[in-house]
């Protein structure tokens, strides 16, 4: 019997083929608000995966306050042909199994003046936001409010003319309508502020305007934050009342529940948050309304199956899962969980790019994400799914991210691939990256790559030391047509005067548990590895999450006392470096730096190690001043360099030799995956 998640369901009069929803996301793919080839090809691949519903995020409705760098525009008839082409394509590619909504968005105080043509951002009140570096927005007049209400109605009319299946109203994450809901950002003293009814008034006028434009048949849903996670703003209890009012109005066909505001200090979509952490929001709201409820944010597929099966939720909403794997819904419905390329919650090519404005949204685990239009062939097939014209036998040295990504694509294209690795398991540097606290989801990528490679016939040989002479011999005998070196990085050479007897260990040995440290520990190196190592050391001796759960269930102590226990480890940890946290993406850095602050890690910023003694380290700052930091153990996290020795010993001795990943130029896992992808699709 099919699981309920994969069965048909209705939103109003609209029937969906299954209950998996692709969430709205800010992508940056539009061409000045128009449907671009990048938009079409991105959604083409997701439509092929046949989710029940795709919601296109960030569709802008205000012709006076819009950005050209964000989502699609829906405020003029000239956009209808492009919108229609997107709608028709989704229907066609999914075989009619996937419906498409536009999410109507108004940024409100989240707009930066430079991004919206130099006009002031508009908001219920002149309350600035850290999200825009505290630009002060313009407080809307009542006449301007009425005008924006009309903009929503006009956009709904345009969307319906384009043939959309439904519309989602964005009230979540701190955008304009949510700003009206919140007593923190709505300080008005007229009929749009103050009481609950007044703070809801703008939303209901928007709904009425849209219903007047499209009638009662077109599906309209609302995206709602389950809690704002902002001091003084709406809590879950408040949101339940908002949800009840929306449900009771009789004009909304469903609620899509997400987490808090963008400016919240609580991490919401990173791997630091456990799976299912936010599911209670949707389940609580479901218990209090009479319309279908959807839920997103760190909701794993098997948890989604469970909650929908028991009726605790009606639909499951996934965002970055579809960045990582366009076929996510189809694989899940077929029970192929080990073939799903899961989002690992790293934020590095999605949220981090949105926050910094550097590049379009992509995915560390899926190189082609956002680049489909650049890679796709004339048959609209991505090259990692297209067979090669010539089949080869290929030897890959290294079972890290680049080696396995290359092997995955090359084997899918019809080549026979063997991987050798000197370790006893796959993963390379990803093994260490998954070891710091709350970073274990990185191993999901390792598992995916290894599983799929094996299913496609890739042969792994572990604990195998690659020797140049043996490789040359095998190639000369015709065993291999091509050799790919993916040996990653090695510890950079460190020339620091060190006193005999000093306890010096490497960060990777600390992360893996191979090296023990004393009570006082100084981590030398403030980059990502150093920061994560300091965090792991500082948390030693703190109670586990399971222990805290038991303490709270059985009333062992007051919550404040338990919080003290969570923030006090057994070691005195300090960290030195030019910039502490350098190399961590903004979507991760803020919470990690806050956590090492909670744990009392001492930071020696703007320093480097001049000398290591038995009882500590001599540090030198940028002006040349020295200081001494006591330490029983010194942990070195001073960087890595390409491990290209084997490549150099093979260079000019065999044909078709390649160097990929961090063995080529060091750097990051994103670079490693990209070099592997680009080489594999060309063979």
Total of domains in the chain: 3
Report pLDDT digits (tens) over 654-672. Answer: 999 999 999 998 778 999 9
Same domain, 130 and 84: yes
How far apart CA 526 and CA 577 sit, in angstroms, is 4
pLDDT tens, 302-342? 999 999 999 999 999 999 999 999 999 999 999 999 999 99
The CATH number of whichever domain residue 460 belongs to comes to: 3.40.50.720
Q: How far is CA 658 from the centre of its chain?
A: 31
The angle at the Cα of 299, spanning 356 to 129, to the nearest 5 degrees, equals 35
The pLDDT tens digits of the residues spanning 242-267 come to: 999 999 999 999 999 999 999 998 88
467: its two tokens: 């020797």
> Do the domain assignments include residue 202?
yes
Q: Give domain status of residue 380, yes or no.
A: no
Q: What is the pLDDT confidence band of residue 598, given thresholds at 50, 70 and 90? A: very high
Instruction: For residues 518 and 617, state if they share a domain.
Output: yes
Query: Residues 6 or more apart from 256 whose CB is under 8 A from it?
Result: 21, 23, 55, 168, 221, 222, 223, 224, 293, 294, 295, 296, 315, 317
What is the DSSP annotation of 614-627? TTEEEEEETTS-EE
Query: What is the SS3 assignment for 461?
Result: strand
Q: What is the CATH number of the domain that holds 30?
A: 3.20.20.70
Question: What's the rounded mean pLDDT across residues 225-234?
Answer: 97
Q: Is residue 46, in this structure, part of any structural domain at all?
A: yes
Q: Which tokens belong to 538? A: 């500082």
In a domain, 667, yes or no: yes
> Is the distance from CB of 301 to CB of 329 less than 8 angstroms?
no
Q: Kindly report the number of other CB atoms within 10 A of residue 151's CB atom.
A: 22
* 268 lies in the same domain as 400: no
- Residue 499 inside a domain? The answer is no
Q: Is residue 255 part of a domain?
A: yes
φ and ψ at residue 130, rounded to 5 degrees? -65, -20
- Residue 430, domain extent: 387-491+642-680
Sequence-ordered list of residues with C-beta below 8 angstroms from that of 147, at least 6 positions apart, any chain: none
Whole-angstrom Cα distance, residue 471 to residue 469? 6
Closest CA to 72 of 11, 126, 31: 31
In a shared domain, residues 550 and 647? no
Indicate whether 306 and 184 sit together in one domain: yes
Indicate whether 331 and 212 sit together in one domain: yes
**pLDDT > 90: what percent of the chain?**
89
CB 172 within 8 A of CB 234: no
Asked whether residue 551 falls in the same domain as residue 410, the answer is no
In a domain, 382, yes or no: no
Residue 67 CA to residue 111 CA, distance in Å, equals 8
Contact (Cβ atoms closer than 8 angstroms) between residue 486 and residue 396: yes
Torsion of CA 214, 33, 363, 416, to 10 degrees: 100
User: How far is it, in rounded angstroms, from Cα 149 to Cα 530?
Assistant: 51
Work out the average pLDDT over 186-191. 98
Tens-digit pLDDT profile for residues 80-122: 999 999 999 999 999 999 999 999 999 999 999 999 989 999 9
Rounded to an integer, the average pLDDT of 390-400 is: 97
Residue at a domain's end among 332, 350, 375: 375
Question: What is the predicted pLDDT for the residue at 70?
Answer: 78
Residues 236 and 155 in one domain: yes
What is the mean predicted confidence (pLDDT) over 569-574? 96
The pLDDT score that the predictor gives to residue 351 is 86
Are residues 16 and 155 part of one domain? yes
**Is it the case that residue 1 has pLDDT exceeding 70?**
no
Residue 2 scores a pLDDT above 90: no
Looking at the chain, the whole-number percentage of residues with pLDDT higher than 70 is 100
What is the token pair recorded at 651?
Answer: 């260079």
pLDDT at 467: 97
How far apart (Å, rounded) are the C-alpha atoms in residues 192 and 169? 19
pLDDT tens digits, 538-569: 999 999 989 999 999 999 889 899 999 999 99
Q: pLDDT at residue 378 above 90? A: no
Q: Give the per-residue pLDDT at 355.
A: 76
pLDDT at 599: 96
Average pLDDT value for residue range 617-638: 94
- Helix, coil or strand: residue 496: coil
- Decide if 498 is inside a domain: no
Task: Indicate if 174 and 288 belong to the same structural domain.
Answer: yes
Q: Do the beta carbons of residue 253 and residue 284 sit within 8 Å?
A: no
Neighbours of 401 (CB within 10 A): 30
Last residue of a domain, one of 313, 341, 375: 375
Q: Residue 521 sits in a domain of what CATH number?
A: 3.50.50.60
Task: Give the end of a domain, one of 348, 375, 402.
Answer: 375
Residue 182 shares a structural domain with residue 213: yes
Do 336 and 467 belong together in one domain? Answer: no
């Amino acid at each position: 019997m099919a699981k309920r998640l994969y069965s048909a369901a209705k939103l109003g009069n609209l029937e969906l083929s299954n209950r998996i929803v692709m969430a709205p996301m800010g992508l940056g793919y539009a061409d000045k608000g128009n449907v671009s080839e990048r938009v079409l090809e991105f959604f083409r691949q997701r439509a092929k995966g046949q989710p029940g519903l795709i919601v296109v995020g960030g569709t802008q409705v205000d012709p006076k306050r819009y950005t050209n760098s964000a989502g699609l525009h829906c405020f003029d008839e000239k956009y209808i042909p492009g919108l229609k082409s997107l709608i028709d394509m989704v229907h066609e590619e999914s075989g009619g199994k996937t419906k498409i909504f536009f999410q109507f968005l108004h940024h409100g105080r989240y707009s930066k003046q430079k991004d919206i043509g130099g006009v002031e951002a508009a908001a219920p009140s002149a309350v600035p936001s850290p999200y825009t570096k505290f630009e002060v927005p313009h407080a809307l007049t009542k006449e301007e409010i009425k005008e924006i209400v009309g903009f929503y109605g006009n956009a709904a009319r345009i969307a319906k003319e384009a043939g959309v299946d439904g519309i989602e109203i964005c009230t979540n994450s701190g955008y304009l309508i949510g700003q009206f809901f919140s007593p923190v950002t709505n300080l008005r003293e007229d009929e749009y502020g103050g009481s609950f009814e007044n703070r809801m008034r703008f939303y209901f006028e928007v709904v009425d305007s849209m219903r007047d434009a499209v009638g009662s048949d077109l599906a309209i849903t609302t995206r709602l934050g389950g809690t704002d996670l902002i001091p003084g703003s709406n809590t879950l209890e408040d949101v339940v009342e908002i949800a009840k009012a929306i449900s009771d109005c009789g004009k909304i066909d469903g609620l899509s529940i997400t987490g808090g505001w963008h400016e919240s200090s609580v991490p919401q979509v990173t791997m630091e948050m456990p799976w299912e952490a936010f599911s209670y929001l949707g389940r609580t709201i479901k218990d209090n309304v009479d319309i279908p409820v959807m839920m997103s944010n760190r909701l794993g597929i098997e948890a989604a199956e469970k909650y929908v099966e028991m009726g605790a939720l009606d639909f499951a909403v996934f965002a970055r899962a579809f960045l990582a794997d366009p076929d996510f819904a189809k694989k899940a419905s077929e029970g192929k969980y080990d073939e799903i390329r899961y989002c690992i919650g790293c934020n590095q090519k999605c949220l981090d790019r949105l926050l910094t404005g550097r590049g379009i949204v992509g995915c560390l685990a899926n190189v082609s994400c956002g680049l489909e239009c650049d890679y796709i062939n004339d048959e609209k097939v991505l090259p990692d799914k297209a067979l090669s014209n010539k089949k080869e036998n290929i030897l890959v040295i290294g079972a890290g991210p680049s080696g396995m990504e290359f092997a995955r694509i090359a084997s899918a294209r019809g080549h026979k691939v063997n991987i050798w690795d000197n370790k006893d398991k796959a993963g390379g540097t990803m093994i260490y990256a998954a070891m710091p606290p709350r970073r274990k989801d990185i191993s999901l990528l390792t598992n995916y790559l290894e599983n799929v490679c094996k299913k496609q016939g890739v042969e792994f040989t572990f604990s195998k030391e690659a020797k140049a002479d043996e490789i040359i011999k095998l190639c000369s005998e015709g065993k291999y047509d091509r050799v790919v070196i993916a040996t990653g990085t090695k510890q950079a050479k460190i020339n620091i005067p060190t006193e005999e007897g000093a306890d010096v260990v490497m960060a990777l040995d600390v992360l893996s548990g191979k090296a023990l440290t004393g009570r006082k520990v100084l981590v030398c190196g403030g980059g990502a590895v150093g920061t994560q190592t300091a965090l792991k050391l500082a948390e030693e001796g703190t109670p586990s999450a399971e222990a805290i759960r038991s303490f709270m269930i059985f009333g062992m102590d007051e919550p404040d006392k338990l919080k003290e226990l969570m923030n006090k480890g057994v070691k005195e940890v300090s960290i030195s470096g030019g910039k502490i946290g350098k190399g961590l993406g903004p979507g991760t850095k803020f919470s990690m730096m806050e956590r090492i602050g909670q744990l009392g890690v001492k930071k020696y910023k703007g320093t480097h190690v001049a000398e290591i003694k038995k009882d500590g380290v001599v540090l030198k700052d940028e002006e040349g001043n020295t200081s001494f930091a006591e330490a029983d153990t010194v942990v070195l996290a001073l960087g890595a360099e390409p491990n290209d020795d084997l490549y150099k010993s093979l260079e000019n001795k065999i044909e078709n030799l390649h160097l990929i990943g961090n063995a080529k130029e060091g750097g990051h896992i994103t670079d490693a995956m990209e070099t592997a992808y680009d080489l594999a699709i060309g063979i």
